[in-house]
Structure 1
Amino acid sequence: MVIRLVNKFSVIFLFSAAVFSQDNCRLMTYNLLNYPDIDTIIRNPHFRNVIKYSNPDILVVQEMTSQAGMNGFLSNVMNAYGNIYSMGTFIDGPDTDNGIFFKTVKYRFISNTRIRTALRDINEFKIIHLSYPGDTLRIFSVHLKASSGAANENLRAAEVDSLRKFTASIPPDKFYIVCGDFNIYGDYEPAYNKLKQILPHNNGHFVDAVNLPGVWNQFQYRFFHTQSPRTRAFGGGSTGGMDDRFDMILFSPGIFNAGRIAYNPGTMTAFGNDGNHYNDSINRRPNTAVPDSIADAIHYSSDHLPVYAAITFGNVIGISGNQNGIPGNFDLSQNYPNPFNPVTKIKFYVPETVETTRRIVSLRIYDVLGKEITVLVNEALIPGSHEVVWSAAGGASNYPSGVYLYTLTAGNFRQTRKMILVR
């Protein structure tokens, strides 16, 4: 590792080209539709097909009604093909509840903490990866108030208030996730905005990897819809076809910005949704996302689609999932922390090329009017992962709060991201 001072703006340059081990995890959330109260004997074979095909490493469930339901789902579904999964402690609350299952060889369950709301409990599950025991993953499972209208929107917002009071003590660089059935209809809802709201102390907010402005019941957002996979009523649950994005996974900034536990961009998936079933049942032929048997299993098991995302344990900050430390393309990462005050880190990647092993790379910061603020890097760099630390404080460089842009340029490559300075 080489460390040197680059310029008077307190910029530090770091390079690392070591090889690191990592482990990818498929984390999935699934509303089970009042399990085991409705047609369990009929639904279990369908659940088995869904779980076997999707193969989650960690499964977080909603609408679990009892300890007996947890036991039955573990033995009759999760471990139907072998002793693969364990379950976390279950807390039986005032309504349907949340549960967690995980692959025994990879994870260890720590605790289940109940967060009471006026409606259903929210649960915080703590879990660690056995190969990376130094980092605890906190998973919050929610099932917010259903139905549209201002009154229900306000009830959902109140539930999120309870969650944010709990997460207010968690620094943004820690590793936490909220997932479940949010029953939110668009980005205008108070509950959604409260989840993402960045408070002055910068603690406890969540990041949505998917940006869908406005009402979510739109054809253009069809790939992200999770309810309902049915158009006709049977066995309880909702109908109406695929037209709502109720089920989601949101991340802490520490996970979203590729900390030691990192979200793998582009992996957010509504399982079984091929985008061709808007306002239709998920098993109308053809379904190009999954085999017909799996589309049928999704249709008959629950009135929600599972949603999964890939996260990496053992990620080394600045490597962003690349096993050999030499990325295939230039890439500029989101600064961290963001928002920041007054110091932030910017990571970028220089690829190996056949024509040269050193590239002239510049990293510059601009204000929103396009005025150049400072040059952080402007030199030939060897391939690999690089990190710059920028301080916006001190003397003439004591910049005001606001949005700033930073741009990485190398030859014909140019990439710009924005960051927010909050004082």
Structure 2
Amino acid sequence: MKKKIKVVLLIMALGLQGLQAQENFKLMFYNLLNFPLEDAVPDRLQYLELILTDYQPDLFMVCELNNESGADAILSSLQFLNPNMQRAVFEFNTSDDNISDQNDLQNLIFYDSTKFVLEDQIIVTSIFRDFNHYRLKINSSESDTNPVLIDVIVCHLKASSGTENQALRFQMVEDLIAYLDTLPADSNVVLAGDLNVYTNSEPAFQELIDADNNNLIDFVDPADRIGSWHTNSNYLDVMTQSTRTQNGFGGATGGFDDRFDFIMTSENMLDNPEIEYVQDSYKVYGNNNNIDCYNQAINSSDCDGPEFPFFIREALHNFSDHLPVTLELQTNQSLSIEAFNLKTLVRFHGSNMVDDLLKLQLDPSLQINNLFIRNYLGQIVKTISVKNALYIEENVSSLANGLYFITANEFENSPLKFIKVN
């Protein structure tokens, strides 16, 4: 009898391990192109709002942010989507101004405070621009007994080609590595930035991936697309710049032919169940990996594809000369605040790419009267009566093509998104 009990307990334990909680975090890095001072495109914030509304990052990391009013404007836009979004303290660049005046180009992070706690922020100086270090703790139910920390580094290396600029980028990275060598070797480090490197053979990039194994913390490219990226269409899928071919928008032109923007992780984050990179989640947001897009503007028909429709690529084109980079991280810890939200109670019956008929499947426990369809400005464009239904088919043929959100008064912070197409 005792032997049978032990077997049952073992089976139960294995079963519980299989049911271990998993939480995912969506990260985005974006070069904001001198926001908000660059005004060649009027009302640029509306385009950023559409991008953020579509992706809804849990951690939004940026460079080329000019001032605190710009930081507040972005935070306000994020809080419209998720009132739990917060930002770190805005700090001006403190590094040496002898090369050029960099005090109008800052880094910053915005984060979901239900998922992360900002433990510390530290300025790491270099010969040119600051690296900004933000130490985040996962806001889990185990954070007191087994805290999981993520050291987020946001940066913007020296731009332009040539051996002199390569040397400056290398010196900047050396300053960063010297600082990182003061951290524990098992630190979970995310490096997000506009690295401005043209090829993996550049000394700055080689120093980051530590080919000689001299550094305590080695970085990896989660996309696993290391190579000579510049004007090499074989790496189109990870190219981020330039979104434009015409002058008059600010920033660089020349079309899509460079990989400047990265999110890298410390090597240990590839197989650390407490916080690890989600396999195949690395994407360049707005890049459909269409070979015809090479050297073209991101909003052209040459860049069409199933994942990023025209109106998203148009917003990206108008806001910045760079594309954002995204990936997901996963933890096996449970968040301290469990989200009981609309997304768990309402599902699309089929695709969220909707032609004329929106099809929804509702959980029987959902106790609400109405669902609301909102446009990306937050305006209600259609009300759907629920009336305890389990399945809904709603005609949306009158809606213009674009991005829409399904909300409920009881679950305003967790909208579902769908794209109206012809």
Fold shared, TM-score > 0.5 on shorter chain: yes
Deviation at 1:289, TM superposition (A): 2.5
Deviation at 1:242, TM superposition (A): 1.0
Output the CA distance in 1 between the equivalents of 2:42 and 2:245: 22
Output the CA distance in 2 between the equivalents of 1:201 and 1:221: 29
Change (3 A) 1:200 1:282: closer
The within-5 A match list for 1:200-215 is: 203-209=216-222, 210-215=224-229
Output the CA distance in 2 between the equivalents of 1:130 and 1:171: 21
SS in 1 for 2:148: strand
Output the CA distance in 1 between the equivalents of 2:321 and 2:184: 36
Task: State yes or no: 1:283 paired with 2:299.
Answer: yes
* Corresponding residue for residue 125 of structure 1: 134
Task: State yes or no: 1:107 paired with 2:125.
Answer: no
Output the CA distance in 2 between the equivalents of 1:222 and 1:200: 29
SS in 1 for 2:109: strand
Change (3 A) 1:16 1:154: farther
The within-5 A match list for 1:214-225 is: 214-225=228-239
Output the CA distance in 1 between the equivalents of 2:297 and 2:204: 28
Output the CA distance in 2 between the equivalents of 1:101 and 1:308: 14
As a proportion of its length, which structure holds more strand?
Answer: 1
CA contact (8 A) 1:173 1:253 kept: no
Change (3 A) 1:200 1:42: closer
Output the CA distance in 1 between the equivalents of 2:211 and 2:187: 15
Change (3 A) 1:215 1:272: closer
Deviation at 1:249, TM superposition (A): 0.9
Deviation by residue 1:29-62 (Cα, 9 ceiling, x = unmatched): 0000111111285101100000010111100000
Deviation at 1:22, TM superposition (A): 1.6
* Corresponding residue for residue 303 of structure 1: 321
Output the CA distance in 1 between the equivalents of 2:212 and 2:119: 29
Change (3 A) 1:16 1:157: farther
The within-5 A match list for 1:182-261 is: 182-197=195-210, 203-209=216-222, 210-261=224-275
Task: State yes or no: 1:167 paired with 2:176.
Answer: no
**% identity of equivalent residues:** 30
SS in 2 for 1:118: coil
Structure 2, unpaired ranges of 5+: 1-12, 95-101, 335-422
Output the CA distance in 1 between the equivalents of 2:205 and 2:75: 32
* Structure 1 stretches of at least 4 aligned residues deviating more than 4 Å after TM superposition: 198-202
CA RMSD of aligned residues (A): 2.0
Deviation by residue 1:98-139 (Cα, 9 ceiling, x = unmatched): 000011222221221101111111100111121153011111
SS in 1 for 2:121: strand
For 1:124, the aligned partner's letter is H
Q: TM-score, normalised by structure 1?
A: 0.68
* Corresponding residue for residue 292 of structure 1: 310
Task: State yes or no: 1:36 paired with 2:49.
Answer: no
Q: TM-score, normalised by structure 2?
A: 0.68
Structure 1, unpaired ranges of 5+: 1-14, 317-423
Deviation by residue 1:181-205 (Cα, 9 ceiling, x = unmatched): 0000011100000001166665122
CA contact (8 A) 2:229 2:259 kept: no
Output the CA distance in 1 between the equivalents of 2:300 and 2:278: 31
Output the CA distance in 1 between the equivalents of 2:113 and 2:164: 42
Change (3 A) 1:239 1:86: same
As a proportion of its length, which structure holds more helix?
Answer: 2
Deviation by residue 1:178-227 (Cα, 9 ceiling, x = unmatched): 01100000111000000011666651221112233234431110010000
CA contact (8 A) 1:217 1:245 kept: no
